Amino acid sequence: MIIVFRHKKLTVMSKRTFQTVMGIILIGAFFLPYFKVESVNYSGLDLVLQKGSNIRFVFLAIPISGIALLLDASSPGSYSRGFFHWLPMLAILAFLFWADSQFNTGINHRNRDLGTMITDSIKGSTYGYWITLGAAFLVLLIEPAPNK
């Protein structure tokens, strides 16, 4: 005899509430410190406004996706992941590579492996980065109930 257990999906909140909260978190965390070098904290906005590589504009994807989540929150229907749900995670991955090359000067980057590069980038990250990372994971992993 085979017994099949059907479970109900755990839905914590509606699509409207979930996307509103995640959008506000992504926008707010962009202005919190992301990276610390010596005694200077750099927010997402500071990283975008720095001179240098054009990859810094990738960080604008975080508040833009937060705004897109807020705008989509009130639409009827079920929750579906799209481009703006993946965008914060892609920006965070770009941050790992960019922060390593931007702030770890004096290091030969050609002979380093990926693990060392990511570890060095994470060492200088602060709570704004971790809040954004957590929100990016939640946007991808949690499936809220549809709006009614």
Pick from 20-24, 63-67, 111-115, 127-131: least confident: 111-115
Strand partners, 33: 43
Quick one: pLDDT at residue 4? 46
24: in domain: yes
110: in domain: yes
Please write the tens of the pLDDT for every residue from 32-43.
988 777 777 878
Averaged confidence pLDDT in the chain: 75
Quick one: pLDDT at residue 109? 52
74: in domain: yes
The CA distance from 50 to 95, in Å, is 14
Please write the tens of the pLDDT for every residue from 48-62.
887 776 777 888 889
Quick one: pLDDT at residue 111? 58
Provide mean pLDDT across the span 104-119. 60
Total domain count for the chain?
1
Quick one: pLDDT at residue 26? 92
Q: For residues 50, 55, 59 and 65, what is the CA-based torsion angle, rounded to 10 degrees?
A: 150
126: in domain: yes
For residue 106, what are the CA distances in angstroms to 64, 86, 100, 102, 103? 34, 33, 11, 10, 9
Quick one: pLDDT at residue 114? 63
99: in domain: yes
The CA distance from 48 to 121, in Å, is 17
Please, which pLDDT band fits residue 71 given cuts at 50, 70 and 90?
confident
72: in domain: yes
Q: Rounded to the nearest 5 degrees, what angle is found at the Cα of 87, between the Cα atoms of 81 and 91?
A: 155
Provide mean pLDDT across the span 99-119. 60
Cβ–Cβ contacts within 10 Å for residue 77, how many? 9
Give the residue ranges of DSSP H helices in the chain: 15-29, 44-49, 61-73, 83-103, 114-123, 127-141
Domain range enclosing 132: 15-141
9: in domain: no
Quick one: pLDDT at residue 89? 86
The CA distance from 116 to 56, in Å, is 22
Instruction: Please return the burial class of 113, using the count of CB atoms within 10 Å of its CB with bins 0-12, 13-18 and 19+.
Output: exposed
4: in domain: no
Residue 5 predicted with pLDDT over 60 = no
